[in-house]
């Protein structure tokens, strides 16, 4: 966390929609002339796709719990160092995980591998992280504390699974049975390491379908925006300050469901995010400019 080199994190389970939210932020950054350092959480997995299969087999034989949701499957100390270095000096080291054939072909590498570690460009205005562990806090590593703004993306679980199954089968070349097995294997880590993060965020966006999703393992479409509602919850310690009445007036069909909670029609989720985060980003940039000016003087 630093005024001079601000950081925003979006955290959520696999298939929750964090990459989708990142694209919205990219648009806001572009419109405001902000140059972000984009960090994908999957880059901090400890294993590539082939190594992961071997690690899974080893842990299965030993009867140990293991998944990419838990700290053992990730280089969280490296993520922690990146965030610390960025906050201190606006730099750090990152890489990318190549999920799809297209991403892999673009850099002439096999799918399911990592690009080499590289230093971030030196002239970025803000670090933006999206992934599984933005709100992670463990015995020795506290990722959450590095963010100036932390956002949770949490569709209700049936919807999250539908999204994961569709994305993994259509874009990442997995078969539905394997995706279901992955969901099962990750469950202890989901409960222990993913869910607690949503109590450390500033704001959570929880999409709730209005159509039947009672068997997410049956092949089906992802419910459309207009077939869902979004519960927007501001945690008690949220650093994002909004005027609920003004927000509701700008979002037709929105209402307040609880002291710190709004309900917004699904098709207005992006607009709600824009209204909530545009001013927050502007504030971070103003603080950054002030800190930079002070540094110069």
Ligand X SMILES: O=C(CO)[C@H](O)[C@H](O)COP(=O)(O)O
Q: Which is nearer to ligand X, 11 or 204 (CB)?
A: 11
Angle at alpha carbon of residue 63, lines to 62 and 65, rounded to 5°:
115
Rg of the chain on CA atoms, in Å:
19
Q: Which residues 213-232 are close enough to bind ligand ATP by CB under 6 A?
A: 222, 225
Q: Which residues 6+ apart lie within 8 Å of 18 measured at CB?
A: 10, 11, 12, 41, 130, 131, 153
**Residue 151 binds ligand ATP (CB under 6 A):** no
* b/e map 105-139, b = 16+ CB within 10 Å: eeeebebbbbeeeeebeeebbbbbbbbbbbbbeee
Residue of 2, 20, 109, 235 interacting with ligand ATP (CB under 6 A): 20
Q: Which is nearer to ligand X, 21 or 132 (CB)?
A: 132
Binding site for ligand X (CB under 6 A): 14, 42, 45, 49, 68, 97, 99, 112, 132, 172
Residue of 5, 11, 16, 284 interacting with ligand ATP (CB under 6 A): 16
Task: Please give the Cα distance from 182 to 187 (Å, whole number).
Answer: 9
> What track of x and - describes contact with ligand ATP for positions 179 through 218 (by CB under 6 A)?
----------------------------x-----------
CB 127 within 8 A of CB 5: yes
Write the DSSP symbol of residue 118.
E
**Residue 251 binds ligand ATP (CB under 6 A):** no
Q: Applying CB under 6 A, which part among 70-78, 86-94, 163-171, 196-204 lies near ligand ATP?
A: 163-171
Which residues in this chain contact ligand ATP in the complex, by CB under 6 A? Answer: 12, 14-20, 163, 166-167, 207, 222, 225, 269
């Amino acid at each position: 966390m630093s005024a001079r080199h601000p950081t925003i994190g979006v955290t959520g389970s696999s298939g929750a929609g964090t990459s989708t939210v990142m694209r919205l932020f990219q648009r806001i950054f572009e419109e405001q002339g902000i140059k972000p350092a984009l960090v994908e959480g999957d880059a901090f997995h400890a294993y590539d796709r082939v190594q992961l299969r071997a690690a899974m087999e080893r842990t299965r034989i030993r009867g140990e719990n293991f998944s990419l949701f838990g700290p053992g499957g990730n280089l969280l100390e490296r993520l922690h160092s990146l965030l610390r270095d960025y906050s201190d000096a606006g730099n750090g080291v990152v890489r990318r995980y190549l999920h799809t054939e297209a991403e892999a072909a673009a850099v002439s590498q096999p799918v399911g591998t990592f690009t080499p570690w590289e230093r971030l460009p030196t002239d970025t205005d803000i670090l933006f992280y999206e992934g599984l562990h933005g709100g992670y806090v463990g015995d020795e590593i506290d990722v959450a504390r590095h963010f100036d703004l932390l956002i949770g993306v949490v569709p209700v679980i049936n919807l999250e699974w539908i999204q994961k199954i569709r994305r993994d089968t259509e874009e990442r070349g997995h078969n539905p049975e394997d995706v279901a097995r992955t969901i099962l294997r990750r469950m202890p880590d989901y409960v222990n390491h993913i869910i607690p993060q949503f109590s450390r965020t500033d704001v959570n966006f929880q999409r709730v379908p209005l159509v039947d999703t009672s068997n997410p393992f049956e092949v089906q479409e992802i419910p459309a925006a207009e077939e869902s509602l979004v519960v927007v919850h501001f945690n008690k310690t949220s650093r994002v300050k909004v005027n609920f009445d003004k927000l509701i007036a700008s979002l037709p069909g929105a209402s307040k469901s609880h002291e710190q909670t709004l309900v917004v029609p699904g098709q207005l989720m992006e607009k709600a995010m824009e209204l909530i985060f545009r001013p927050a980003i502007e504030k971070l940039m103003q603080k950054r400019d002030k800190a930079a000016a002070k540094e110069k003087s």
